[in-house]
């Protein structure tokens, strides 16, 4: 899959502002600071399309990006300790509203720093996705921080803590671009399997019996 010019579409804070996508939409979620915005920049071949920050908890809105054949939604990071309880509850509600429209979400990428074990929040996120039968892939980010050998070990360990097969965890680096091709292949597969935006014109079920 080739990515052309990527455009930021809009930010949304509330349910009413969430987009009804007309093409497959992939949601990017993960702990604060896990590298969500960096991943979007990597896929878009841009440095500062999605704002990244060394201080966690920066993306507080759902930011939508148009990648041509699909959309990416950068979700607010969870699990950032230094926010108030009200703020956390607000984020949980935002995520809940976002995922409530299941038919709008083609796939979810759950990002987790390759060096860290999945947090309680990560595990909760995965059981949430499992419960709602939302398809997801785990992305082990910042893999440039480890040698290739250590990366393979960590991918297996992360997969096992999430109760997944190692094939469901992709190691990626926003720094070196490692894993980008694998990720693009995954996205191609997601886009081709999605029914959203796949031409439904032509014969519709309603009309098929109305002819003569």
Half-sphere exposure (Cβ direction) of 86: Cα atoms closer than 13 Å: 0
Contact stretch for ligand GTP (CB under 6 A) within 11-19, 53-61, 88-96, 192-200: 53-61
Among 71, 174, 183, 186, binds ligand GTP (CB under 6 A): 174
Please provide the size of the chain in residues.
Answer: 212
CA angle, corner 62, sides to 59 and 65, nearest 5? 100
Q: Does 59 bind Mg ion (CB under 5 A)?
A: yes
Tell me which residue of 174, 63, 81 sits closest to 121, measured CA to CA.
81
The whole-angstrom separation of Cα 202 and Cα 123 is: 43
What is the DSSP secondary structure assignment for residue 57, as one 8-state letter? Answer: -
Site map (CB under 5 A) of Mg ion, residues 4-43, x = contact? --------------------------------xx------
Instruction: For Mg ion, give the closer residue by CB, 65 or 194.
Output: 65
The whole-angstrom separation of Cα 110 and Cα 95 is: 13
Q: How far is the CB of 10 from ligand GTP (least distance, A)?
A: 17
Q: How far is the CB of 74 from ligand GTP (least distance, A)?
A: 7
Q: How far is the CB of 203 from ligand GTP (least distance, A)?
A: 44
Among 63, 137, 141, 151, binds ligand GTP (CB under 6 A): 141
Instruction: For ligand GTP, give the closer residue by CB, 75 or 196.
Output: 75
Instruction: For ligand GTP, give the closer residue by CB, 23 or 58.
Output: 58
Q: How far is the CB of 103 from Mg ion (least distance, A)?
A: 26
* Strand order, beta sheet including 7-12: 7-12, 62-66, 71-74, 25-30, 107-113, 136-141, 169-171
Q: How far is the CB of 160 from ligand GTP (least distance, A)?
A: 22
User: H-type helices in the chain, by residue range?
Assistant: 36-44, 85-100, 120-131, 148-162, 180-193, 205-208
Cβ atoms of 50 and 37 closer than 8 Å: yes
What is the DSSP secondary structure assignment for residue 166, as one 8-state letter? Answer: G
Q: Does 94 bind ligand GTP (CB under 6 A)?
A: no
Q: How many residues bind ligand GTP (CB under 6 A)?
A: 23
The whole-angstrom separation of Cα 8 and Cα 38 is: 14
Contact stretch for ligand GTP (CB under 6 A) within 62-70, 155-163, 168-176, 193-201: 168-176
What is the DSSP secondary structure assignment for residue 75, as one 8-state letter? Answer: P
Kindly list the residues in this chain that would bind ligand GTP in the complex (CB under 6 A): 30, 32-38, 52-54, 56-59, 77, 141-142, 144-145, 173-175
């Amino acid at each position: 899959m080739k990515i052309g010019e990527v455009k930021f579409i809009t930010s949304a804070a509330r349910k009413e502002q969430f987009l009804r996508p007309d093409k497959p939409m992939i949601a990017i979620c993960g702990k604060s600071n896990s590298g969500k915005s960096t991943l979007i920049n990597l896929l878009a071949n841009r440095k500062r399309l999605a704002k990244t920050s060394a201080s966690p908890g920066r993306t507080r809105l759902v930011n939508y990006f148009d990648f041509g054949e699909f959309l990416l939604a950068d979700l607010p990071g969870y699990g950032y300790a230094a926010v108030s309880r009200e703020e956390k509850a607000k984020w949980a509600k935002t995520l809940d509203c976002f995922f409530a429209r299941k038919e709008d979400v083609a796939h979810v990428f759950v990002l987790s720093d390759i060096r860290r074990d999945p947090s309680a929040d990560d595990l909760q996120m995965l059981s949430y996705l499992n419960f709602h039968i939302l398809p997801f892939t785990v992305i082990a980010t910042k893999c440039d921080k480890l040698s290739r050998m250590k990366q393979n070990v960590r991918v297996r360990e992360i997969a096992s803590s999430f109760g997944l097969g190692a094939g469901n965890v992709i190691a990626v680096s926003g720094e070196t671009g490692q894993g980008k091709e694998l990720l693009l292949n995954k996205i191609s597969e997601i886009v081709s399997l999605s029914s959203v935006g796949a031409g439904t014109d032509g014969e519709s079920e309603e009309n098929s019996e109305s002819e003569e």
